Amino acid sequence: MFGSCIDIDSVAADMAFIQLSLLGIPAEVVTGNTLTMKLNRVRYTPVYYINNFGKRLDDQRRISAMREFLRCINDAA
């Protein structure tokens, strides 16, 4: 499980960060506006770093891109 949270209020984002950290959930907590996509601060919970979630998410994106590429090749053939 991976959580991604965005809130415009820094206090609410701080509370979410604390709660997710205490629960041991790997998550990305962003302070910013979701309508304009202006992001001010991005934080990751300690479990994100302990379990190396950055690499896991990168690997997952690469695998999805490779599957899509192979699907396009099969459709073209």
pTM: 0.71
| Predicted confidence pLDDT, tens digits, the chain (77 residues) | 889 999 999 999 999 999 999 999 999 999 999 899 999 999 999 998 888 877 888 888 899 999 998 888 888 76
Taking the C-alpha atoms of residue 15 and residue 17, their distance in angstroms, rounded to an integer, is 5
- Strands of the sheet containing 3-7, edge to edge, are 3-7, 27-33, 38-44
Which pLDDT value is given to residue 22? 96
Which pLDDT value is given to residue 54? 79
